[in-house]
Structure 1
Amino acid sequence: MDEEAITIRLTRDQAFVLSDWLYQVMFQSDDLEGIVHDRAVWSPIYAISGTLDKTLREIFMPDHGPRLEAAKEHLRADLYGGADETTAPGQDVTDAPQAHQIERGTPGNHGESDQGR
């Protein structure tokens, strides 16, 4: 089987927020098994998390919290067209903007892969 690498492009804010979420799920809550039942998926999750940890200097800065909140606000503004329009935990996202409803394989600026380009 050919193991060609795949490149995924994220903005710095996307990477920072994803890194924090992965850290919360994997190490703070210890809930990875509750969220991802198929352990085969853990391999790419750990690869992504490790790559983000090695790449993002922000996660080690003393002002990590304010930087993270600013990154989240930027992403919310980009996604929703205005700041601080968040989706609460457990809230139904069917009423959320179209970006939440992207179909697989649909191109867009939401971390699409760079395969074959």
Structure 2
Amino acid sequence: MLSEWFYQVMFQSDELEGIVHDRAVWSPICAISGALDKTLSEIFMPDYGPRLEAAKERLHADL
């Protein structure tokens, strides 16, 4: 979920600028995002979409 959120905020929109006003913070955010992408093989699996939706449902249930 976090990896997907980073991707959406950083690469699919201009939201990061609106959320994090101090650009110095962007560097560690990019580092965390890159580290997640390197360790999460699931994001490259063909069934990633359904896996992501299932994770969202589990997280919503935990709220």
**% identical equivalent positions:** 84
Compute the TM-score of the two structures, normalised by the length of structure 2: 0.89
**Does structure 1 residue 60 correspond to structure 2 residue 52?**
no
AA of the residue aligned to 2:4? D
Matched, 1:40 2:35: no
What is the SS of the residue equivalent to 1:62? coil
For 1:30 and 1:65, locate their aligned partners in 2 and report how far apart those are by CA, in whole Å. 23
Superposed structure 1 runs of 4+ greater than 3 Å apart: none
Q: TM-score, normalised by structure 1?
A: 0.51
Alignment correspondent of 1:31: 15
Q: Give unmatched runs, 5+ long, in structure 2.
A: none
CA distance in 2, matches of 1:69, 1:38: 31
Please state which structure has a larger fraction of its residues in helix: 2
Shift of 1:70: 0.4
Q: 1:51 aligns with which of 28, 32, 35?
A: 35
Q: How many residues are aligned here?
A: 63
Stretches of structure 1 that go unaligned for 5 or more consecutive residues are 1-16, 80-117
* Superposition deviation, residue 47 in structure 1: 1.2
Larger radius of gyration: 1
